[in-house]
Amino acid sequence: MSLLPWLQQSWQELQNIPFNPLLSAILIICSLYVFKRIRSVKSNLPPSPPKLPIIGNLHQLGTLPHRSLQSLSNKYGPLMFLCLGNAPTLVVSSANMAKEMIKTNDIIFSNRPKITAANILLYGCKDIAFSPYSEYWRQARKICVLELLSLKSVQSLQYVREEEVEALNNKIRDSCLKGASVNLSEMLFATSNNIVSRCIVGQKFEDENGKSRFGELSRRVMVLFVVFCFGDFFPTFGWIDVLTGNIPSMKATFRELDAFFEQVIEEHKTSENSDNDHLNSLDFVDILLRLQKNDKLDFELAKDSLKAILLDMFVGGTDTTSTALEWLMAELMKNPGIMKRAQEEVRRVVGKKSKIDVNDINKLDYLKCILKETVRLHPPLPLLVPRETITSVKIGGYDIPPKTRVFINTWAIQRDPKVWERPEEFLPERFEDNPIDFRGQDFELIPFGGGRRGCPGMAFGVASVEYVVANLLCWFDWKLPSGNVQGEDLDMTEINALVASKKIPLHLVPILCSP
């Protein structure tokens, strides 16, 4: 029998079979199961922990996800595939895998998932940190790097750091005269915020108690970025975030931020039109407003984009810097021998001068080792801002689908015992005569990320941290309020926010250094 008549006869026989709903359902389920098994075999995904129905691996994130993910990676490997609700997620926990991802396949991993908090707070992700990989992102990042965050720009703003750190020194000296303890965490946050504020908008926003009007908003933003939103993992159920209060809270914060930036922009426009001397003291807002009028600009810099970029600069520049300073001073209190050596170095270099200058900072080799060890042990962002694969890609021998979220667990990478000797200990000496740096080329130390999505504000933040710490160590000795000089029992618990600062603020008693 030829093929065509046989097909016709078979089709007629099938049509004569009475319809059976149960049999049809069983056939469909079996077909879907076979299709799923064939697809899973072909995809060759990285190892994955067992998951629960519907929620997948969400229950395994814990209250401090960077720690929970490290524990899981120790069992399932440096590349781990999770199902966080409906969001396929890759967790990278080794230097080798980070290098293969960032250096070898950087473009494929350069996109960002659009999360609820970033979409609301950042004008639809029109900033730099959370903006999708696009021509807009490339142009916006280029402007920020060239106009504010280049090495030349950072050096030109040294006078701002000097003035704000001198104000910090004076506050601490006043406390020394009273013999009182200080909330050093709050002081470091305020100083960082003032430096960033003056560089970006040309002024600081303090009340009569020295607290920044923008500081509380900034901290609220950092917490909102990590709250659990159903819409980020179950898009169909995004409406639940309204009922939980997350979206109303984000929108309320957004309205406050928007009003703040609207006021700043209008004040700058007025100042530009009325003050001829204003041309000699342009801040970042002035530069953006001038670029906004530039017909030769390769992309449209709308007001919402301008505001989103400003929020990036404020939040990223303030919280990461103050957090690094806070952890550094906490580690020095726990390690008095290291503090003593650092103080001796600073005081030897500065000598009898009344002020520390940039040339002094460049000579503080041991202080630079302390900073490296601080951001190794306490990266400000323990989980870097998530990326998203643009297309399918093979990494570590595994197939990664497109639209997969990717978390680089810097906290785990920088505590990897296969790379670091005694990884849980604070040992700045490990960086003496050691070429490893945090500029994004050594993947065992990437607190600022790397590749196209590396932090563009690294030089700005490092300059502030080095100058503040040098002053704290040069002019003051420190002890705990309890009277102890060292703090072996100092609580080092982190809070869960986009930037992982100390849960309990650092309170210390300053003592004026004898000349």
- The answer to the question of residue 170 being in a domain is yes
Give the span between the Cα atoms of 320 and 465, in whole angstroms.
Answer: 10
Token pair for residue 463?
């300059």
- The answer to the question of residue 83 being in a domain is yes
Report which of 93, 313, 115, 88 is spatially closest to residue 196, judged by C-alpha positions: 313
Token pair for residue 63?
């209250």
- The answer to the question of residue 11 being in a domain is no
pLDDT value at position 17?
55
Report which of 289, 226, 225 is spatially closest to residue 254, judged by C-alpha positions: 225
- 114 neighbors 125 (Cβ within 8 angstroms): yes
Q: Return the C-alpha torsion angle 154, 155, 159, 164, nearest 10.
A: 40
pLDDT value at position 3?
47
3-class secondary-structure state, position 237: helix
3-class secondary-structure state, position 434: coil
Relative orientation angle of helices 215-224 and 303-334, to the nearest 10 degrees? 90
- The answer to the question of residue 221 being in a domain is yes
- The answer to the question of residue 269 being in a domain is yes
Counting as low any pLDDT under 50, the low residues of the chain are 1, 3, 7, 14, 23, 25, 30, 33-35, 38-41, 278-279
Provide CB contacts within 8 A for 194, sequence distance 6+: 164, 167, 204, 206, 212
Give the span between the Cα atoms of 141 and 303, in whole angstroms.
Answer: 16
Q: Between vectors from CA 142 to CA 203 and to CA 89, what angle results, nearest 5°?
A: 100
**CA separation (Å) from 376 to 78, 167, 420?**
18, 29, 10
Token pair for residue 335?
């390690």
The CATH number covering residue 77 comes to: 1.10.630.10
C-alpha count within 13 angstroms, C-beta hemisphere, residue 422:
7
Three-state SS sequence of 288-347: HHHHHCCCCCCCCCCHHHHHHHHHHHHHHHHHHHHHHHHHHHHHHHHCHHHHHHHHHHHH
3-class secondary-structure state, position 43: helix
What pLDDT digit, counting tens, does each position of 371-415 carry? 999 999 999 999 989 999 999 999 999 999 999 999 999 999 999
Give the span between the Cα atoms of 246 and 240, in whole angstroms.
Answer: 9
Give the span between the Cα atoms of 430 and 406, in whole angstroms.
Answer: 30
Find the domain containing 61 and state its range.
44-512
- 237 neighbors 85 (Cβ within 8 angstroms): no
pLDDT value at position 30?
47
Buried b or exposed e, range 254-278, using 16+ CB within 10 angstroms: beebeebbeebbeebeeebeeeeee
Instruction: Give me the number of domains the chain comprises.
Output: 1
How many other C-beta atoms are found inside a 10 Å radius of the C-beta of residue 198? 18
- The answer to the question of residue 499 being in a domain is yes
DSSP 410-433: HHHHTT-TTTSSSTTS--GGGGTT
Measured distance between the N- and C-terminal CA atoms of the chain, rounded to whole angstroms: 109
What pLDDT digit, counting tens, does each position of 141-184 carry? 988 888 778 888 888 889 999 999 999 999 999 999 888 899 99
Give the span between the Cα atoms of 447 and 455, in whole angstroms.
Answer: 9
Contacts 24+ apart (CB under 8 A), 260-263: 260/213, 260/214, 260/217, 261/306, 261/307, 261/310, 261/311, 262/307
Q: What is the pTM of this model?
A: 0.88
φ, ψ of residue 216 in degrees (nearest 5):
-65, -40
Give the span between the Cα atoms of 221 and 130, in whole angstroms.
Answer: 14
- The answer to the question of residue 26 being in a domain is no
Give the span between the Cα atoms of 299 and 141, in whole angstroms.
Answer: 12
Report which of 380, 381, 388 is spatially closest to residue 90, judged by C-alpha positions: 388
Give the span between the Cα atoms of 92 and 441, in whole angstroms.
Answer: 17
- 414 neighbors 92 (Cβ within 8 angstroms): no
Task: Please identify which residue in the block is written with the tokens 């009007």.
Answer: 213
Token pair for residue 2?
């030829």
Q: Between vectors from CA 114 to CA 113 and to CA 120, what angle results, nearest 5°?
A: 155
- The answer to the question of residue 505 being in a domain is yes
Report which of 434, 457, 481 is spatially closest to residue 195, judged by C-alpha positions: 457
